[in-house]
Structure 1
Amino acid sequence: MARSIGRRELLQAAAAAALLTGCTPSPGPTPSPTAGNSDAPKATFTFATPAPPIGLDPAVIDELESWRIARQVLESLVTTDPETGAPAPALATSWTQSSDQLSYTFTLRQNVTFHDGTPFNAAAVKANFDRWFNFSPAFRAANPPLPFTAVFKAHADAPTLSVFKGCDVVNDHQVKITLTQPLTGFLQALTTAGFAISSPAALAAGTADVIDQTSAGTKISRYAQHPVGTGPFRFRDWTADRVTLESSPTYWGNRGQIATLIFVAFDQPQARLQALVDGRIDGYDAVTLDNIETLVRKGLQVVRRDPFSVMYLGMNQSVPILQNEKVRLAIAMSINKDSVIRPYFLEDTKPASQFIPPKLSGFNQAGGFPSYDPEKAKRLLAEAGYKGEELKFYYPLNTTRLYLPSPEKVFGELSAQLTRLGLNLKPVPIAWSDGYLEKVTTAGDHAFHLLGRYGTFADPDDFLAPLFGAKGGEFGFFDAQLFSKIDRARGLPDGSDRTQAYQNINAQLGSTAPAVPIAFPISAVAVSNSVVNYPTSPVLNETFNRVTLRTS
């Protein structure tokens, strides 16, 4: 009788196979403006995602699948080094910081054009920063959370509250960005798709600030349906289930081997797996535990990413009973995280006792959130005076998120545990494509919800400021002291004081429990044997011009 292969053994085998194929890239020299353009790409590559994008204007739509595609079309001033994760040249070839840490001067790459033929220059960079800074209050209210707001706190209508002061043209190939106070993670933040540079002409033609279209239950602009940037791929079309891009013949860098890049959405993990096994796709993201054995037995490659996300149970203090700290702490103590993780997450996913992943400064080895203690949790809930009020628990359907591989199953386990605590839950399932993300991150009647934060740049501020740095509709709480601590920590220079500040913030979050961190998930990509190298990135900075394919 054949021996059954254990889950850990399977994933280790898959990881070893991926390592042997060289799926972690080494940084190379910065390409010259004409590098890689002599040999035109020829291949067609189809990649399956767990959900379609919501919109392709990354300055407005901060969502994993939207950013994945936007990164192929649009580029930022700065990117991430594939080995170290440190800021590296992209549309800016170099930069200098002033001695007072309040201004940065960027030297821009020359002889670069947008896909619509208009020039990339200092004026284009300024136009993008001016657009983000001048987003109106009505626009911001309709599109929370905006990447610019998360990093710079405020906009042109509240300049004294904003960390951003202005972007000025020095000359045609230099811009100077000025801040009102030091921001340690500034360069890291610029590596994200949220600060990618769009063609000003295309923004105007697509009325980018007029939200009059609908996608996945979310209002977007016409520009968000047809982005124009400087990236290795240019936009071709977007139909109901797929987005098609094509290699940009004018790209300044290495065009790679892929001429046509297709992103197709399969909302069920088994459908993605079968499509890869059948040869209908060349790779897919969001490998689930149920996929692993088939992938390994078929000899297909599984490429793991380092954990750089946190999955959590959200609690909304707009619901009166959840304003009671004892209730929230009781909920935190009632959750057996191992029972949630072991059956549904990839091997080596760890329980989370805080919101900062282990590899970032500020991670607190002591955690902060209370440990599993169901009996104490019941006593706390009784002390809080909970009378059986109905509490709505929102969870997504028909999707797999990199931080939440099996939403319905995770909901089932968590809801069972919370019911044993004594809560009266009303399940509220919502299809991801019906605007789940918008419904749980804006004001509403959701008492609980499932969501996660996938890190977009390597700084603890990227996790804490968007979630807990200001009052928002997702958690519905106001804590001026906490907001002030997060604001102070983000401006401290790297070092022991900053690390201690974030550890203290973690401890405060644990003692008040505005939400409950559940897991630091491992995510993985599966690719066919035609792929020699798939360059994974913990922050998902994965551009397909860097994918290497077999040539024979």
Structure 2
Amino acid sequence: MPSPAGPLRKAYRRAVSMAAVVLFAATACTAPPLPGPDASASATTPPAETTFNFGTGTDPLGFDPALVADTESYRVTRQVLEGLLTIDPVTGAPAPSLATSWKQLDGGLSYNFKLRGGVKFHDGTDFDAAAVCTNFERWYALTSDTRADGSSAMFKQVFREFSDNPQNSLYKGCTVDGPLEVTLGLKMRLTGFLDALTLPAFAISSPTALKLGTANVLDKSFSANKVSSYALHPVGTGPFRFVSAAPGTVTMAANKDYWGEKSQITTLKFTTFEQPETRFAALDDGTLDGFDPVTPSNFDKLIKGGKQVLQRDPFSVMYLGINQKIPVMAELEVREAIAAAVNKTTLASNYFIAGTATTAQFIPPKLSGFNNSVEGIPYDPQKAKDLLAASKYNGEELKFYYPVNAARTYLPSPEKVYAQIATELTAIGLNIKPVPVPWNDGYLNAVTKDTDHALSLLGWNGSYADPDNFVGPIFGSPSAELGMNDPQLVSKITRARSLPNGPERVAAYESISKQLAATVPAVPIAFPISAVALSDKVLSYPLSPVLNEVFNHVKLTPAPPTG
């Protein structure tokens, strides 16, 4: 049985191929050739001082990667902080970063890592084994005052619990074996453990900066999110140093002492443009050098305008969340009626980039665990009406939360998607009350905390090639987002993630996919294709299905001669 990383390796190759094809189509014969993964940066000589302006659809929620889970926060922290492992840009497999080598011990219950020497944090302190253990022990010991229920923290999604519930945590400890050697211990085998360590949430911060920034005291705010002083100025070992952040903009500077590939970009700025039209206009007039995400409404305009449009291979799922803490939502017939009322084909065709596939499952077809026999509940408005009529629903108002002034890689046009789904649900007899919430005013908190939402729009962008990375974060523990508490499902997911790659593990995830389709805790809509737009200033861009796009790998065209 092939490793689940195998299909993603093909995904990476497809992404590189698609990027080259779309780039050629967008820029015709005038574009410089797109270099391959091994192309040398010496082919160009940009100015000594180069500012790169990149547009995003929403603001980040903070910059302490242990306490955020949104793609815009991670877009920043990937530049500033690094983990033990990163992702190979060609194969998608775990690759060396701050760890140069590793080995599995005790049948998968511990892992030994040899660390990279001569690396310093941006504050000048040494990166070493003690720093690694300081970070892991901090994550394990996060209190409820800092982490809340922890449902959005990647530590909980991987290790299940924290130090205040040690009997249910899979984390055993971190041991310093030498100045540049550590061993991480587990209480249960985790097949995707090395892949999980590539997550930006497990990036290593300077222990000195964590202490000075009182990282566990959330007495500041950013984007309507409680954060610490450290989360307003993170310190890592990455190719860029954090300079400043304010609503709408983040500024970083190249780390001149970086141990790896030096950046051609000296100043990197991420600027928020909430509306697709303003992102397009800013790229068109030269204010921006690139932006993400491209929406269907500006895709054709970008191509016609000669801009580069690079499409990622789909590796995310967009879904309609159903909160079972709202009494009527706990009834299966009502959830089935909702699923039958949604025309996924219309949504995918009208509000996502062409080629986006609809889905009845949360695990993408390129990963083991996708169940070919699961068809889900087909679009059938009459069946939806019949199911609703047979239920106990009696016209109760259902609050439908959806984000506004936002564009996500998995949800480029949220207002339009909401309008389509709300119209369809109203047509079968549901009393829908719209609750628009600006993303930057706390949308994520509003739908992942214990609120009165009955329905919500959200998605998940995969970070590594394992089915647990899709079903684990959404369904692997009780959450306020979906208001469900299904110990049997949690137990099945916990068991599946511990099984070695092979037929038994595949069957376990296929069974989970079947159960999710039958119980409808949420309605999966599509596996969206996302895309990045770039100016002709960019020679190549490190496109990644899992969004591991670090800008020291951006290659720029030569500057025109002056004088």
Equivalent residue runs for 1:36-47 within 5 Å: 42-47=49-54
For residues 443 and 46 of structure 1, the distance between their equivalents in structure 2, rounded to whole angstroms, comes to: 38
Report which stretch shifted further, 318-327 or 158-167.
158-167
Q: Distance in 2 between matches of 1:304 and 1:315?
A: 30
The answer to whether structure 1 residue 466 and structure 2 residue 473 are counterparts is yes
Query: TM-score, normalised on structure 2?
Result: 0.92
* Match 2:385 to one of 375, 378, 393: 378
Which has the larger displacement, 501-510 or 143-152? 143-152
In structure 2, the partner of 1:4 is none
Q: 1:19-168, aligned counterparts within 5 Å?
A: 25-26=36-37, 42-141=49-148, 144-168=151-175
2:491, 2:269 → 1: CA distance? 44
CA contact (8 A) 2:235 2:242 kept: yes
The farther-off stretch of 391-400 and 365-374 is: 365-374
Distance apart, 1:385 and its partner CA: 2.2
The structural deviation recorded for 1:365 is 2.1
Q: Is the contact made by 1:24 and 1:536 (CA closer than 8 Å) also made in structure 2? A: no
Check conservation: 1:353, 1:369, Cα contact below 8 A. Answer: yes
Deviation at residue 41 of structure 1 after TM alignment = 5.6
Pairing 1:480–2:491 present: no
Measure the CA separation in 1 of the matches of 2:378 and 2:352.
Answer: 20
**Cα-to-partner distance string for 1:252-288 (whole Å, 9 max, x where unaligned):** 0111210000000000011011100100110000101
Which residue of 240, 249, 255 maps to 2:262? 255
CA gap 1:374/1:96 in 2 versus in 1, 3 angstroms: same
Structural mapping, 1:41-440, within 5 Å: 42-141=49-148, 144-440=151-447
- Contact preservation (8 Å) 1:287, 1:524: yes
Conserved? CA contact 1:56–1:66, under 8 Å? yes
260-269 or 136-145, larger mean C-alpha shift = 136-145
Whole-Å Cα distance in 2 between the matches of residues 240 and 385 of structure 1? Answer: 46
Q: Number of matched residues?
A: 538
Cα distance in 1, alignment partners of residues 19 and 545 from structure 2: 18
Alignment partner of 2:266: what SS? strand
Q: 1:523 aligns with which of 510, 524, 530?
A: 530
Relative to structure 1, the CA distance from residue 480 to residue 144 in structure 2 (aligned partners, 3 Å threshold; closer, same or farther) is closer
Give the ranges of 4+ consecutive aligned residues of structure 1 lying more than 4 Å apart after TM superposition. Answer: 10-13, 18-25, 38-41
**CA spacing shift, 1:80–1:41, aligned 2, 3 Å:** farther
CA drift at 1:138: 3.0
Kindly indicate whether the alpha-carbon contact (under 8 Å) linking 1:369 and 1:509 is maintained by their aligned counterparts in 2: no
TM-score normalized by the length of structure 1: 0.94
Q: Distance in 2 between matches of 1:28 and 1:142?
A: 45
Give the Å deviation of 1:140: 2.4
Deviates most, 330-339 or 196-205: 330-339
Stretches of structure 1 that go unaligned for 5 or more consecutive residues are: 1-9
Instruction: State the Cα distance separating 1:542 from its structure 2 match.
Output: 0.4
Q: 1:46/1:481 Cα in 2 relative to 1: closer, same or farther (>3 Å)? A: same
Matched AA of 1:91: L
Task: After superposing the two structures, state which structure 1 stretch, 86-95 or 250-259, moved more.
Answer: 250-259
Write the letter of the residue equivalent to 2:113.
F
Whether 2:520 is the aligned partner of 1:513: answer yes
1:24 and 1:534 in contact (8 A); partners too: no
CA distance in 1, matches of 2:261, 2:472: 35
C-alpha displacement at 1:139, in angstroms? 2.3
Measured after TM superposition, the shift of residue 366 of structure 1 is 2.8
Check the 8 A contact 1:25/1:83 in 2, yes or no: no
Structure 2 distance, partners of 1:423, 1:351, is: 24
What is the Cα deviation at residue 188 of structure 1? 0.5
Secondary structure (helix, strand or coil) at the match of 1:258 reads coil
CA positional deviation for 1:371? 1.4
Q: Distance in 2 between matches of 1:278 and 1:91?
A: 39
- Displacement after TM superposition at 1:240 (Å): 2.6
Amino acid at match of 1:514: P
Q: Residue type matched to 1:133 in 2?
A: Y
Instruction: After TM superposition, give the deviation of residue 292 of structure 1 in Å.
Output: 1.4
Partner deviation per Cα, 1:64-101 (whole Å, 9 max, x = no partner): 10000000000000000001100000000000001411
- Cα deviation digits, residues 120-179 of structure 1 (max 9, x gap): 000000000000000113322266411100100011122221111000000000000010
Q: CA offset at residue 525 of structure 1? A: 0.2
- Opposite residue 455 of structure 1, the aligned amino acid is G
Q: Which residue of 2 aligns with 1:7?
A: none
Is the 1:317–1:323 Cα contact (8 Å) retained in structure 2?
yes
Aligned to 2:5: none
Which amino acid letter does the alignment assign opposite residue 308 of structure 1?
F
Give how far 1:249 is off.
Answer: 1.2
CA distance in 2, matches of 1:414, 1:54: 27
TM-fit CA distance, 1:400: 0.5
Rounded Cα–Cα distance in structure 2 between residues aligned with 1:369 and 1:160: 36
Are the counterparts in 2 of residues 74 and 196 from structure 1 also a CA contact under 8 Å?
yes
Displacement after TM superposition at 1:382 (Å): 1.1
Match of 1:14 in 2: 22
User: Take 2:452 and 2:408, find their aligned partners in 1: how far apart are those partners?
Assistant: 23
Say whether the 8 Å CA contact 1:21–1:533 is kept in structure 2.
Answer: no
Cα displacement string for residues 167-224 of structure 1 (whole angstroms, at most 9, x for unaligned residues):
0000000000010010011011100110000000000000100011111111111111
The secondary structure found in structure 1 opposite 2:423 is: helix
Structure 1 position 39, deviation (Å): 10
Q: How does 1:530-545 map to 2 (within 5 A)?
A: 530-545=537-552
